[in-house]
């Protein structure tokens, strides 16, 4: 049976006309594809096109951030605008705000490899790892002649996160400091003194205190005191914070002076064994039961569960000073909270803390190193005030007035408390243990996370897991240093 | 021209014309392969023999990456096991489900076009929203899935908090993505002449026989396509495990899929050379599986033209 | 696309047929069998509705979350209708800085539209070459085509990026659109399989009549695979609509961004504005739902117009 012949609207196209059409269509599409091509980095901000001074060519800077809310990204536009009033020769493109996740690294690395990186950028992972591989410009000479960013204007422990073999490769403009947040009203309901001075000073005290709050209903954990050492459902963060607990027990995870990993020291093994004993005693020895029962952190987790701390079901947990504002992103079941110093472990003697900075760096291949650094210096010393007004974090540069206080905290808890808590976190920066200093930081973090998972999941003893991680990390480190 | 045996020598004039036309038809694709694909793919293969941090020039390490993979990377075999588990279970499940769905949606019934839109809705939701939606549904305490399970009296697993249940959860989640496969089956079902089905009915065939003897054979090229593509893509599952388990594959590395492992080595650990080696191994494995499928296809894929490949 | 002639649609036809049958059969001796058929039909509807509801969940969740304030989005147990519904979320999302909806929408339409046209035009032709035209090296080339799908894009990404940098095409849509004019492996594979479901005699008969290969392709084969062409168009449009990584990497000017990238404006450093994000995501989705609903009617209707091969 002959099939019906269907022709498109009765016209029969010859092969030649089809090829012509296709070629034309292709060409037209090529042209069209160029159509919405914007002029890169020439977009100036609303209205302020200040003409360059006679004789100087205007310089265009591109500035990136890994992500952030629209408010945060817009604040960079304001900072740029202010800067351009001072330096009319420089135009700064609208801040290129990325997706806030790992994709940013992909793009940044690709542009550095291809030779067209941004002139300056914020990064959320350790500059040391980038610097070891020659991906960042050294800044010491620029810092020495700068307005705000001399070496002595930065807290030493925090600046260590940007330094490798004596050279500095980034500016840690904000450095969120860690503290032990606790629910004062929950304490008082159990008749426990809730002032900061009464907070536990040793691990044994913390452990005893935690038992007061932990309550199981069958296999469901209803309320908890404190989980050693961090939210068990987030081994990545736990690996970051483990550096603090290691320091509290008199050791460290990474020796930045000698560039060696020190994961399986006696104290670190002791620390993990302590956590394991605590888990067995208070949490039925079963992490899965804990994580199934709820979200034991301060922000909604990947499953969207509301955080237990704001719900009043978690008495104490580790977090950074940004939490003083972020806390209010979820409904709060109580009003009064505070943060305490980290208690000291059996082998430790002094309290310690940690930090997580936003780093400003200049990628290798940046076209305007000096101008980019001038802008970074400005952000570190002055622009940070605009930043802080929109998204409060802890400015690290010591020239920044220390009486900056987040408005959200003033709203909720009053001026006096806000100043006090801010001063507390500034103090925490002073006792911060060096973090983010490893040339294989992210690899190391994931191996530490894996070790934590194995230990808490009873698949390996603390000694086995930490030793395996130690070997892997040290091998990786040696490899990275060999080609540095 | 003597002594040189051109491949065209044995073809008739008509066959030569057909061959010329054929090559002209595929010419654009060949160009694309040469320009846009050959270089990146070759580069990746070569990079697998190097230590490449992306921001430094690669330096040659020979087979070291492959050695490390099989002996020095404690996360390698867990990643392989996780990916095989996921592929082995989600692919057959998805194929059967989407074929069944396509058969149902192919029926002429009132309002069927509305149903078709409804079933494709999950694919319409942007990934940034849909990923979190699916994960929220599996929340152990009061998520939708467990609420329904508890209604039947069965114990409700902890899904993404429990290493034993996280992969099954991921597999179930993958069922929401059968919209594309279903649609392809649906289009394939359209091509089955109704006259054939009517003739079979007249011969006394019931619905099951119609399925076995008419629909499945005529649909088999499309089944082959969906099978191969779903196998390929199941080994590349990436964004959902990454959101659920992070770069550590929590809980307890159960969510560490092979692609996540490649990804974190490439862009987190500065080990693009090793990531390339992992990709080469993945490619080899999937290629092998695909070749086996194509071989087997000679037995069950039916189409009008016989050729060396199904 | 050929215009629809004056016919009643298939669903209407079916409904009328059902009604007629019902009327005829109610009092006949075969009433029992008819009743069974209708019970089955009702059962089918119940099943469809149940499964459809499960499928719709992500979409429904997205829309109701769009009406909630941030802290209500993940409340337990899940609130099926927010009280009170925040319609203002939509307005706020529309006016959100760094989410200029209309411009993002236009960019998305441009990007998805261009890629869809490019893909449909190229793949329809290239796949035909693989399916129905014999030429030396065809099958090897086809396996190579499938092989390109097995290589993770993550790894080929860096060399590809460097390639486009060398061609000077960063900062525009060119790297994203132009390669699509030369074919896309997935759709080449898919279309080839669809061409293989068509009987081979069609082409042979036409050749005997003296038609050249191109006329056979254009006038005979292409109209018969229209459902597949439409599927390809719908898929490509949809996937490109959601593609954020390509634009993320290759575009530098925010005024070029498509909707998929714009959605990330609602993510903060450590948090996400879920209510607003879902509202924006819903806005992003609406054009797709409309297009899909219109489109999927056509490829069912379309086959009814061309003579079914018998």
CA distance, residue A201 to nearest chain B CA (Å): 32
SS (H, E, C) A271-301: HHHHHHHHHHHHCCCCHHHHHHHCECCCCCC
Q: Where are the beta strands (DSSP E) in C21-99?
A: none
Give how many domains chain B has, as a whole number.
1
**Over 50: is that where the pLDDT of A202 sits?**
yes
A483 touches chain B (CB under 8 A): yes
Confidence of residue C21 (pLDDT cuts 50, 70, 90): low
- Give yes or no for a contact between C145 and C83, defined as CB atoms under 8 angstroms apart: no
pLDDT given for residue A411 in this prediction: 92
ipTM of the complex: 0.87
Instruction: Give yes or no for B56 touching C (CB within 8 A).
Output: no
Does some domain include residue B243? yes
Q: A303 touching B, CB under 8 A?
A: yes
Q: Does the pLDDT of residue B1 top 50, yes or no?
A: no
What one-character DSSP code corresponds to residue A432?
Answer: B
Beta carbons of C256 and A36 less than 8 Å apart: yes
Q: Which of A29, A97, A113 sits opposite C114 (nearest CB)?
A: A29
Which pLDDT score is estimated for C290? 81
C266: nearest Cα among A389, A95, A99: A99
Instruction: Dump pLDDT digits (tens) for A301-341.
Output: 877 788 999 999 999 999 999 899 889 888 899 999 999 99
pLDDT surpasses 90 at A464: yes
How many Å from the N-terminal Cα to the C-terminal Cα in chain A? Answer: 74
pLDDT at C1 over 50: no
Confidence of residue A156 (pLDDT cuts 50, 70, 90): confident
Element (H, E) at C213: helix C213-215
pLDDT above 50 for A28: no
The C-alpha atoms of residue B29 and residue B180 are separated, in whole angstroms, by 24
- Percent of chain B predicted with pLDDT > 90: 50
- When pLDDT is cut at 50, 70 and 90, the band that residue B129 belongs to is confident
CA distance C21 to chain A (A): 31
Q: pLDDT confidence of C53, banded at 50, 70, 90?
A: confident
> Which pLDDT belongs to residue C224?
86
- For residue A36, which residues of chain C lie inside 8 Å, CB to CB? 107, 110, 172-173, 255-256
Q: A97, C267 in Cβ contact below 8 A?
A: no
Q: How far apart are CA B174 and CA C106, in angstroms?
A: 31
Answer yes or no: is pLDDT of B307 > 60.
no
Q: What is the mean pLDDT of residues A345-373?
A: 94
| Mean pLDDT computed over every residue of chain B | 88
The pLDDT of residue A84 is 93
Q: Give contacts of A26 with chain C, Cβ < 8 Å.
A: 181
Whether the per-residue pLDDT at A50 is higher than 50: the answer is no
- Answer yes or no: is pLDDT of B203 > 90: no
Tally of residues, chain C: 310
DSSP letter at C125 equals H
Say yes or no: C265 contacts chain A, CB-CB below 8 A.
yes
Mean pLDDT calculated for residue range B126-152: 84
User: How large is the average pLDDT for residues C131-160?
Assistant: 90
Residues of A in Cβ contact (< 8 Å) with B22: none
- Residue A484 is predicted with a pLDDT of 79
User: C268, A97: Cβ pair inside 8 Å?
Assistant: no
The predicted-structure confidence for A382-404, as pLDDT tens digits, reads as follows 999 999 988 888 899 999 988 88
Confidence of residue B92 (pLDDT cuts 50, 70, 90): very high
Q: Which range (A21-35, C1-15, C171-185) has the least confidence?
A: A21-35
Q: B247 CB near a chain A CB, below 8 Å?
A: yes
* Segments forming the whole domain that contains residue B80: 74-300
Q: Is C184's pLDDT higher than 90?
A: yes
Average pLDDT over residues B210-231: 90
Please write the tens of the pLDDT for every residue from B33-86. 998 999 999 999 999 999 999 999 999 999 999 999 999 999 999 999 999 999
Binning pLDDT at 50, 70 and 90, where does residue B171 land?
very high
Per the domain annotation, does B273 fall within a domain? Answer: yes
Q: Which of residues 255-294 of B touch C (CB under 8 A)?
A: 259, 262-263, 266-267, 272, 275-276, 279, 282-283, 286-287, 290-291
Q: Please check the confidence at residue C5 and state whether its pLDDT lies above 60.
A: no
Q: Looking at residue B135, what is its pLDDT? A: 83
Contact B74 A294 (CB under 8 A): no
Residue A16 has pLDDT above 80, yes or no: no
Distances (CA, A) of C198 to A409, C132, C193, C223, C230: 70, 10, 9, 11, 17
Cα four-point dihedral sign B134, B136, B141, B143: negative
Instruction: Give percent of chain C above pLDDT 90.
Output: 33
Q: Which residues pair with A337 in a beta bridge?
A: A183
Record: contact C308-B194, CB cut-off 8 A: yes
Q: Are A6 and C219 in contact (CB under 8 A)?
A: yes
Report pLDDT for A41. 35
Instruction: Please check the confidence at residue A373 and state whether its pLDDT lies above 70.
Output: yes
Q: How large a percentage of chain A has pLDDT more than 70? A: 88
**Domain residue extents for chain C:** 29-93, 99-305
Chain C residues lying within 8 Å of B194, measured CB to CB: 308
- Categorize the per-residue pLDDT at C16 as very low, low, confident or very high, splitting at 50, 70 and 90: low
pLDDT tens for A271-294 read 999 999 999 999 999 999 999 898
Overall average pLDDT of the A201-230 stretch: 95
Interface of C with A in 209-248 (CB under 8 A): 212, 214-215, 218-220, 223-224, 244-245, 248
Q: Do C160 and B28 touch (CB under 8 A)?
A: no
pLDDT band at C30 (very low <50, low <70, confident <90, very high): confident
Q: Which domains does chain A have, with CATH numbers?
A: 59-176+356-426 (3.40.190.10), 179-353+434-482 (3.40.190.10)
| For residue C191, pLDDT beyond 70 | yes
Write down the pTM of the prediction: 0.87
Q: How many Cβ pairs closer than 8 A exist between chain A and B? A: 114
Give Cα A429 distance to the centre of its chain: 15
User: Is it the case that residue B222 has pLDDT exceeding 80?
Assistant: yes
Chain A CB contacts of B250 under 8 Å are 233-236, 449, 453
Average pLDDT over residues A44-64: 58
Chain B neighbors of A458, CB-CB under 8 A = none
Residues 207-236 of A with CB under 8 A from B: 233-236
B residues 200-219 lying closer than 8 A (beta carbon) to A: none
Against chain C, the chains showing at least 3 CB pairs within 8 Å are A, B
- Subunit partners of chain A (3 or more CB pairs within 8 A): B, C
Q: Does B163 reside within a domain? A: yes
pLDDT of A73 = 87
Residue B60 lies inside a defined structural domain of this protein: no
Establish if A26 touches chain B: CB-CB under 8 angstroms.
Answer: no
B87 touches C at CB < 8 Å: no
Residue B127 belongs to domain with CATH number: 1.10.3720.10
Q: Which of these ranges, B299-303, C92-96, C126-130, has the smallest mean pLDDT?
A: B299-303
What number does CATH give the domain C99-305?
1.10.3720.10
Nearest-Cα distance to chain B for A32, in Å, is 20
State mean pLDDT over B131-140. 84
Q: What chain C residue is nearest to A99 in terms of C-alpha separation?
A: C264
* Cβ-based contacts of B17 with chain A (< 8 Å): none
- The verdict on B56 touching A (C-beta cutoff 8 Å) is yes
pLDDT of A454: 95
């Amino acid at each position: 049976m002959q099939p019906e012949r269907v022709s498109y609207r009765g016209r029969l196209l010859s092969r030649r006309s089809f090829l012509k059409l296709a070629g034309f269509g292709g060409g037209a599409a090529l042209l069209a594809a160029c159509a919405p091509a914007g002029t890169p980095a020439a977009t100036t901000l609303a209205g302020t096109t200040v003409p360059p001074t006679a004789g100087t060519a205007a310089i265009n800077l591109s500035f990136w951030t890994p992500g952030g809310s629209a408010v945060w990204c817009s604040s960079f536009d304001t900072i740029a605008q202010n800067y351009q009033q001072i330096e009319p020769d420089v135009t700064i493109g609208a801040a290129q705000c990325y997706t806030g996740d790992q994709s940013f690294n992909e793009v940044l690395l690709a542009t550095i490899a291809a030779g067209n990186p941004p002139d300056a950028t914020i990064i959320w992972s350790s500059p040391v790892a980038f610097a070891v591989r020659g991906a960042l410009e050294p800044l010491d000479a620029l810092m020495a002649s700068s307005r705000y960013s001399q070496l002595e204007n930065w807290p030493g422990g925090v600046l260590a996160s940007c330094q490798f073999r004596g050279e500095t490769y980034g500016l840690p403009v904000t450095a969120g400091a860690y503290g032990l947040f606790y629910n004062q009203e929950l304490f008082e309901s159990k008749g426990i003194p809730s002032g900061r001075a009464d907070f536990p000073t040793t691990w044994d005290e913390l452990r005893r205190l935690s038992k007061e709050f932990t309550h199981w209903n069958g296999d469901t954990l209803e309320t908890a005191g404190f989980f050693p050492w961090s939210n068990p459902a987030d081994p990545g963060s736990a690996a970051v914070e483990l550096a603090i607990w290691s320091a509290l027990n008199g050791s460290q995870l990474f020796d930045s002076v000698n560039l060696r990993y020190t994961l399986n020291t006696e104290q670190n093994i002791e620390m993990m064994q302590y956590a394991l004993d605590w888990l067995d005693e208070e949490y039925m020895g079963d992490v899965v039961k804990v994580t199934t029962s709820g979200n034991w952190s301060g922000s909604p987790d990947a499953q969207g569960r509301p955080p237990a701390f704001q719900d009043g079901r978690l008495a104490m947990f580790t977090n950074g000073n940004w939490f003083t504002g972020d806390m209010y992103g979820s409904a709060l079941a109580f009003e009064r909270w505070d943060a305490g110093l980290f208690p000291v472990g059996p082998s430790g003697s002094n309290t310690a803390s940690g930090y997580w900075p936003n780093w400003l760096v200049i990628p290798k291949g940046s076209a305007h190193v000096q101008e980019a650094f001038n802008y970074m210096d400005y952000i570190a010393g002055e622009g940070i005030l605009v930043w802080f007004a929109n998204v409060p974090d802890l400015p690290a540069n010591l020239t920044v007035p220390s009486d900056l206080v987040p408005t959200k905290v003033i709203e909720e808890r009053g001026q006096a408390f806000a100043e006090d808590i801010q001063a507390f976190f500034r103090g925490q920066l002073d006792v911060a243990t060096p973090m983010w200093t490893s040339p294989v930081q992210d690899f190391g973090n994931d191996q530490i996370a894996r070790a934590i998972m194995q230990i808490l999941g009873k698949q390996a003893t603390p000694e086995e897991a930490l030793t395996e991680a130690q070997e892997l990390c040290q091998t990786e480190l040696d490899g990275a240093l060999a080609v540095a | 021209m003597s002594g040189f045996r051109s491949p065209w020598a044995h073809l008739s004039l008509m066959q030569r014309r057909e061959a010329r036309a054929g090559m002209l038809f595929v010419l654009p694709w060949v160009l694309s392969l040469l320009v846009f694909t050959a270089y990146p793919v070759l580069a990746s293969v070569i990079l697998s023999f190097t230590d490449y941090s992306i921001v430094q020039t690669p330096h040659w390490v020979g087979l070291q990456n492959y050695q490390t993979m099989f002996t020095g990377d404690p996360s390698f075999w867990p990643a392989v096991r996780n990916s095989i588990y996921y592929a082995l279970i989600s692919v057959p499940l998805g194929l059967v489900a989407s074929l069944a769905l396509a058969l149902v949606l192919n029926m002429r019934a009132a309002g069927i076009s509305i149903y078709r839109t409804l079933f494709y809705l999950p694919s319409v939701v942007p990934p940034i929203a849909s990923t979190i939606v699916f994960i929220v549904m599996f929340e152990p305490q009061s998520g939708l899935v467990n609420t329904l399970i508890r209604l039947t009296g069965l114990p409700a697993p902890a899904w993404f908090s429990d290493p034993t249940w996280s992969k099954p959860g991921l597999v179930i989640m993958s069922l929401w993505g059968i919209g594309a496969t279903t649609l392809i089956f649906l289009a394939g079902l359209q091509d089955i002449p109704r006259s054939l089905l009517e003739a079979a009915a007249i011969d006394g065939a019931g619905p099951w026989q119609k399925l076995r003897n008419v629909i499945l054979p005529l649909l088999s090229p499309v089944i082959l396509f969906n099978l191969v593509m779903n196998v390929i893509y199941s080994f590349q599952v990436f964004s959902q495990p990454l959101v659920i388990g992070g770069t550590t594959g929590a809980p307890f590395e159960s969510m560490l899929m092979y692609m996540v492992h490649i990804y974190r080595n490439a862009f987190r650990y500065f080990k693009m050379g090793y990531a390339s080696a992992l990709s080469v191994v993945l490619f080899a494995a999937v290629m092998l599986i695909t070749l086996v499928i194509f071989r087997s296809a000679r037995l069950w894929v039916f189409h009008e033209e016989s050729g060396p490949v199904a | 696309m050929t215009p629809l002639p004056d016919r009643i649609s298939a669903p209407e036809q079916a409904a009328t047929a059902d009604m007629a049958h019902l009327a005829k059969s109610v009092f006949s001796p075969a009433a029992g069998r008819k009743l069974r058929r209708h019970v089955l039909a009702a059962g089918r509807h119940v099943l469809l509705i149940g499964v459809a509801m499960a499928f719709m969940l992500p979409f429904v969740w997205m829309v109701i979350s769009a009406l909630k304030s941030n802290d209500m989005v993940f409340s337990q147990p899940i609130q099926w209708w927010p009280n009170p519904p925040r319609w203002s979320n939509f307005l706020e999302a529309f006016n959100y800085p760094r989410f200029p909806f209309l411009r993002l929408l236009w960019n998305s339409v441009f990007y998805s539209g261009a890629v869809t046209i490019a893909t449909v035009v190229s793949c329809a032709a290239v796949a035909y070459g693989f399916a129905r035209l014999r030429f030396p090296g065809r099958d090897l080339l086809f396996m190579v085509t499938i092989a390109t799908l097995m290589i993770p894009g993550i790894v080929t990404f860096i060399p590809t990026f460097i390639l486009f940098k060398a061609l000077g095409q960063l900062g525009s849509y060119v790297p994203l659109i132009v390669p699509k004019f030369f074919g896309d492996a997935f759709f080449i594979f898919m279309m080839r399989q669809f061409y293989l479901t068509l009987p081979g005699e069609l082409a042979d008969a036409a050749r005997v009549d003296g038609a050249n290969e191109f006329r056979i392709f254009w006038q005979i084969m292409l109209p018969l695979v229209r459902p597949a062409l439409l599927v390809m168009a719908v898929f490509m449009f949809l996937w490109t609509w959601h593609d954020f990584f390509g634009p993320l990497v290759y575009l530098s000017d925010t005024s070029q961004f498509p909707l998929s990238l714009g959605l990330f404006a609602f993510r903060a450093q450590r948090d996400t504005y879920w209510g607003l994000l879902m509202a924006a995501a819903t806005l992003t989705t609406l054009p797709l739902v409309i297009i899909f609903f219109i489109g999927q009617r056509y490829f069912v209707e379309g086959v009814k117009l061309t003579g079914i091969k018998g």
